[in-house]
Amino acid sequence: MTVDEGLDTIVTRLAHQDKVPWYKKPNLRTLYLVFLPTCLGVEMTSGFDSSMVNGLQAVGTWDTFFNHPRSAILGLISAMYSLGAVCALPFVPIISDRLGRRRSIVLGSLFMLIGAILQAASQNFAMFIVSRFILGLGIPFAIIAASSLIGELSHPKERPIVSSLFNSCYFIGSIVAAGVTLGTFAMPTNWGWRIPSVLQVIPSILQLTFIWFLPESPRWLVSKGRGPEAFAILAKYHAEGDTNSEFVKAEFAQIEKTLELEMENAKRSWRELFGTAGMRRRVLIGSFLGLATQWSGNGLTSYFLARILDNIGIHDNRTKNLINVAMSCWSFVNGTTIALTVPRLKRRTAYMTCTISLLLIFTGWTVASARYAITGDKAPSRAVIAFIFLYSPAYNIGYNAMSYTFLVEIFPFHVRSRGLTIFQWFSRLATFFNQFVNPIGIANAGWKYYISYCVFLLFEVIFVYFLFPETSNRTLEELAFLYEDDKLQEQQKRVEHEIHEIHVEDLQHREKEDGIEHAYIEDVRTR
């Protein structure tokens, strides 16, 4: 290997030369297994929460205990979760960047554990609302740190797929919550809604238990001057302990030199996100994704499925909960399948397929809802249910499978936590708005309310086509200067020099060893 061939893709090329699958590498296999209860498991809490709120609306004792919440009151119950997240977001980058990814996950999990306990023990509406606010405080600390940690720890070959699985774990929590509420909705006591609330502590307990078996981000360690620790982690998990691995040396050199160049120009303030045209474009994309992942109609089925079913003539609580379970299971199956396959596609291809499909499906959903409102026939009602089920894979192709993968790729390390916070900020604000407004819109406008989503979905298609860059098949460091050509050239020079130095040191070391061995042989012969 020469030091001047394709240095901008050298780590990617070396990674793809490794033909041994991850499941045959004990250390890497262990890392990915520990991801399940820690990083990947973070989204189980979000999935559990949305499905539980959906299910509780069809639990008679919950409805009675809280005096039949509807319209704005129902919206407030859902929206407090997002409001808590919005209030926590300014502090998330500080914790994640200064204390590390793992400690940020621990802090978020503690908040969520406290919130879930208070929610299960709620004695009145005010206590229930406060518990949901505390749950919301914890989720962004865990989500932003976990998504970053997955991208920064995974082997470059599997990083897109592992990152895509992050959101699919949402459906594990969703299925559990839907199944539990289906089993408890007929209970005559308040345990019918307290049991699902108690079980919401499980993801947080898993994170707090297993996080100590997970290493810290090598990139974070390098940024804190702890290079030897970072190199040891990379060697253990990316080369099965081989400290002489050519790939690990090149990967570490790329990380070290890229972070060095990033930090030279880093201002460590929020203004840095708006200081250059490239950064502003990143912020624009992150903000758009935050809105699009919540304003594409998914908020309707995530939190207000029971009210949607009311509007198409389905009023039986058991039927509503069965549809909720079926939706959760179907979303998990197609979401996981898509997460394992779509990252192999071009990013723009995935997002264009997603947005166009959503526009067509939601238009059909709106038309079918209008037909039911006009005629009252069962055929349009069934069509709405069919469109709801078709909606899930269309959404998952882009906004579920790709969002965190894409965001981790477009934001460089030194602004990654802040970039993900921007995404979360717009996502949570959009969710808060939706959760407060959706029940009011559904109650007052019926199917006409869906037209607003159709208009926004058309805007999404146009935005993705003109503004989304392609980021596939490159490492995080190769994407660090996606919009900064001058910095990219400087990065290549520094990486080239560093790898050249590594080769020279290796050559000198081998020559020294060969010289010692030759001298020993000559000495033996002389004797």
What CATH number did the domain enclosing 294 receive?
1.20.1250.20
pLDDT average, residue stretch 204-217: 94
Asked if residue 433 lies in contact with residue 72, where contact means CB atoms within 8 angstroms, the answer is no
pLDDT average, residue stretch 128-141: 93
* Domain stops at, among 265, 289, 306: 265
pLDDT average, residue stretch 45-51: 82
Q: Which of 81, 205, 176 is nearest to 135 (CA)?
A: 81
- Please measure the distance between the N-terminal and C-terminal CA atoms of the chain and give it in whole angstroms: 41
**258 with 327, same domain?**
no
**235 with 320, same domain?**
no
The answer to whether residue 80 sits within a structural domain is yes
The answer to whether residue 342 sits within a structural domain is yes
pLDDT average, residue stretch 6-32: 82
Asked if residue 247 lies in contact with residue 15, where contact means CB atoms within 8 angstroms, the answer is yes
Asked if residue 70 lies in contact with residue 304, where contact means CB atoms within 8 angstroms, the answer is no
In this predicted model, what pLDDT tens digit does every residue of 266-304 receive, in sequence order?
Answer: 666 778 888 888 899 999 999 999 999 988 888 777 666
The answer to whether residue 352 sits within a structural domain is yes
Q: Place 5 in a pLDDT band, splitting at 50, 70 and 90.
A: very low
Amino acid at 386: A
* Domain stops at, among 192, 213, 234: 213
pLDDT average, residue stretch 4-28: 77
**6 with 21, same domain?**
yes
Whether 414 shows a pLDDT value over 90: the answer reads: no
**336 with 401, same domain?**
yes
C-alpha 187: how far from its chain's center? 35
How far is residue 82's CA from residue 77's CA, in Å, rounded to a whole number? 10
DSSP 72-103: HHHHHHHHHHHHHHHHHGGGHHHHHHHT-HHH
Structure-model confidence comparison of residues 217 and 483, the more confident one: 217
**220 with 235, same domain?**
yes
State the angle between helix axes of 42-56 and 191-199 in degrees (0 to 180), rounded to the nearest 10: 170
Q: Is 522 helix (H, G, I), strand (E, B) or coil?
A: helix
pLDDT of amino acid 7 = 41
- List, in order, residues 6 or more apart from 240 with CB less than 8 Å away: 25, 26, 27, 28
State the pTM of this model.
0.79
**245 with 374, same domain?**
no
- Which uninterrupted H or E stretch holds 327? helix 317-341
**160 with 21, same domain?**
no
**62 with 192, same domain?**
yes
**16 with 44, same domain?**
no
pLDDT average, residue stretch 168-196: 85
Q: Which of 306, 317, 289, 292 is nearest to 388 (CA)?
A: 306
Most confident listed range (72-76, 249-253, 269-273, 437-441):
249-253
**324 with 458, same domain?**
yes
Whether 381 shows a pLDDT value over 60: the answer reads: yes
The answer to whether residue 195 sits within a structural domain is yes
pLDDT of amino acid 3 = 38
pLDDT of amino acid 506 = 63
Q: Place 104 in a pLDDT band, splitting at 50, 70 and 90.
A: very high
Q: What is the mean pLDDT of the chain?
A: 84
Whether 64 shows a pLDDT value over 70: the answer reads: yes
The answer to whether residue 249 sits within a structural domain is yes
C-alpha 49: how far from its chain's center? 16
**89 with 53, same domain?**
yes
How many percent of the chain have pLDDT more than 90?
38
pLDDT of amino acid 472 = 87
Q: Place 127 in a pLDDT band, splitting at 50, 70 and 90.
A: very high
Domain limits at 372?
A: 281-475
The answer to whether residue 276 sits within a structural domain is no
The answer to whether residue 274 sits within a structural domain is no
pLDDT average, residue stretch 501-519: 60
pLDDT average, residue stretch 190-205: 89
**142 with 196, same domain?**
yes
Whether 524 shows a pLDDT value over 50: the answer reads: no
Which of these ranges, 203-207, 453-457, 479-483, has the smallest mean pLDDT?
479-483
Provide the number of structural domains found in the chain: 4
**Total length of the chain:** 527
DSSP 241-301: T-TT-HHHHHHHHHHHHHHHHHHHH---SGGGGGSSHHHHHHHHHHHHHHHHTTTTTHHHH
Whether 41 shows a pLDDT value over 90: the answer reads: no
Q: Place 406 in a pLDDT band, splitting at 50, 70 and 90.
A: very high
pLDDT of amino acid 82 = 83
The answer to whether residue 275 sits within a structural domain is no
CA dihedral 131, 135, 137, 139 (to 10 degrees): 180
